[in-house]
Structure 1
């Protein structure tokens, strides 16, 4: 709501005009020769109270002094003193306290108002026609009113500065977060490129071996040579598709996240490594159940690595947020042309409240890194708290069989 109001400066302008019109209306009640000049001057000055609060305070104070002088020193009064339109002086003081940046401006404005109250209470100026006896009741009551307004304005000033500091901190944190996301995403894309380089290098090595073998048996066994050539073509197409996919990501920056850069696993990974990952999690204290459903079909090396990383990072998050003793169910289901990965944990029996969900969802970079890996493979990724206790990670990858 505060930002919405700040985004509409015309509300402030309308409010200042209303205050100025109030002073003008009050001024019309007075009939002395110069009351209208002084009152209208104060009202006009109030229109600039937000942009030039100290200048407005000086102008209004000067007009109040002129009003006092014209009411006391001539043989007959030319202005009314005190007058209700002197409320402009209090408005100007509040404007200085709430809008002026240097703190001494606020103190000076309060001192000017107190001095004016003292003069109006009977102290007077040298040679004036006013009584030299001080009206203590008037002095105390008016001083109390001025002090209350000053303190109220100081509270508003403190509140405004506090809100402004919070907004600035939030904006700074958002800029830093976006910057860190961009840096981490660039690092993740570079890591994916390195991993894909290993995949392509492996594919090329296979193609070279198949080509050498086809050359040896080309005349003695044409059928075997044909099979080798077919394997070369299939492997080359897969490698080229992987290269196109990663180059597309690097050029367009698709994917919105990052992952803590682990050491790149340069060995040839496979789905058989899932059991090793699960066994390591069991050794760390988790109760892990691994199920593979459906006919296990071949996946490209890059997709197998994605499956392994999703499961591995999910188990890491369970260890980090739920701790030892949590029960985890990992399901890898081959369903036609897709492979579905689901990792469920019970959060060690702890309810997944808003704070726990926020900690697990935004405290680290693993979830965003998993999402980018899955999106690079053309799949879908979701993660979030379960109803009750625990966390759920779902990923779906298209199956691209290899020879």
Structure 2
């Protein structure tokens, strides 16, 4: 933590005191012999005291020093050693003023004062040599201060740019975390909705056949348990990602491994379909000219679309419905069609309340500028049709609901 004095770093305040002290010391030490005596010493001491504020108020300090120097020359006192304060004030206003315009004006005033001092204190006929010498000294100090100012502003701009980039990186990191958590929340909804639908269907079926077919009821209960375990494992894995990590104090670096929230792929669809067959649906599956490999995110989208469509079928058409899942590569994109005949057994109890299944499906498809249509078929049942363009053909036409 930096120590400050009156809002300024202690190091800067100490340096300004070191700069002002010699001016004040010279003005008082030469009082017995210099023109003007103690009056001139008072002017020099005032100049030195003003320099203490040269960083915070450079324009005001320069104005005060200029007025005191004008009084000194007007009284006919020759330039004295403490007039070094004029050059210090000029340097300060060029370096620290908010606008360079103040430094330009200060430079012109200093040159005018040098000419005035040369006329007042030099021998007639050679005053202009003195004026030129003063002007050259003033010009050298002004250019040096301008160079320092330019470098100072350049360093400040680099620091500001670095701070801006750091803030942008932090904002991007926060946005990435929020996006990932939103995706995980959507995944969690899909897992819970699918598993609960399967478990409800199996539990209802077991209740109806408990007396007439105990073996079938036991199989249904076993399916409920297996589905519940898988859902619980998935939920633990996804919720674990949402928790803030708490690494041990001296944990060794872990080797790179597959993320805990592994993305399902199209190759895992048969296993997903088998779970729905176990729940009572009669599911057919065909794949036509599907390119390999597909982008991982696209595979996840296809997997979740199939899962949601079959979950809705189990909820509304009931166990026993005939479902056909078709994946095909058509016209530079992937087409997914899930149709059912709506001829399943009527679900026991009231139908499940409406969820966010179709909304989530539309959101997933819209990421790829695809289209999704979902609705009843003329021949009965329900159809979900989605078309997703492949990244290699971004201009391909897309269909999705």
TM-score scaled by length of structure 1: 0.55
Query: What aligned pairs does 1:90-239 form with structure 2 within 5 A after superposition?
Result: 90-121=87-118, 123-124=119-120, 130-215=122-207, 217-219=209-211, 222-223=214-215, 225-239=217-231
Contact 2:47–2:85 at 8 Å: present in 1 too? yes
Among 44, 49, 53, the residue aligned to 2:54 = 49
Q: Where does residue 378 of structure 2 map in the other structure?
A: none
1:63 and 2:57 matched: no
Describe the shift of the 1:199–1:39 C-alpha distance in structure 2 as closer, same or farther (beyond 3 A).
same
Describe the shift of the 1:278–1:151 C-alpha distance in structure 2 as closer, same or farther (beyond 3 A).
farther
Aligned-residue CA RMSD (Å): 3.7
Structure whose alpha-carbon radius of gyration is higher: 2
Q: Give unpaired runs (5+ residues) of structure 1.
A: 73-78, 256-264, 282-300, 306-403
Query: What aligned pairs does 1:279-358 form with structure 2 within 5 A after superposition?
Result: 279-280=293-294
SS of 1:47's partner is helix
Shift of 1:29: 3.2
Q: In the TM superposition, what whole-angstrom CA distance separates every residue of 1:265-304 from its partner, at most 9, and x where no partner exists?
A: 998762999xx886458xxxxxxxxxxxxxxxxxxx99xx
Shift of 1:155: 1.3
Contact 2:3–2:9 at 8 Å: present in 1 too? no
Shift of 1:222: 3.7
Contact 1:198–1:266 at 8 Å: present in 2 too? no
Q: Where does residue 14 of structure 2 map in the other structure?
A: 14
Describe the shift of the 1:171–1:231 C-alpha distance in structure 2 as closer, same or farther (beyond 3 A).
same
Describe the shift of the 1:95–1:271 C-alpha distance in structure 2 as closer, same or farther (beyond 3 A).
farther
Size of the alignment, in residue pairs?
Answer: 256
Paired with 2:291 and 2:227, the residues of 1 have a C-alpha distance of 28
Q: Where does residue 295 of structure 1 map in the other structure?
A: none
Shift of 1:193: 1.4
Q: In the TM superposition, what whole-angstrom CA distance separates every residue of 1:112-148 from its partner, at most 9, and x where no partner exists?
A: 2212222333x23xxxx75332344433333222111
Identify the structure with bigger relative contact order (alpha carbons < 8 Å, sequence gap 6+). Answer: 1
SS of 2:53's partner is coil
Paired with 1:87 and 1:272, the residues of 2 have a C-alpha distance of 90
SS of 2:126's partner is coil
Q: Where does residue 401 of structure 1 map in the other structure?
A: none
Contact 2:3–2:10 at 8 Å: present in 1 too? no
Paired with 1:243 and 1:235, the residues of 2 have a C-alpha distance of 12
Describe the shift of the 1:113–1:51 C-alpha distance in structure 2 as closer, same or farther (beyond 3 A).
same
Contact 2:122–2:130 at 8 Å: present in 1 too? no
Moved more, 47-56 or 197-206: 197-206
Paired with 1:112 and 1:186, the residues of 2 have a C-alpha distance of 59
Contact 1:46–1:88 at 8 Å: present in 2 too? yes
Paired with 1:253 and 1:187, the residues of 2 have a C-alpha distance of 16
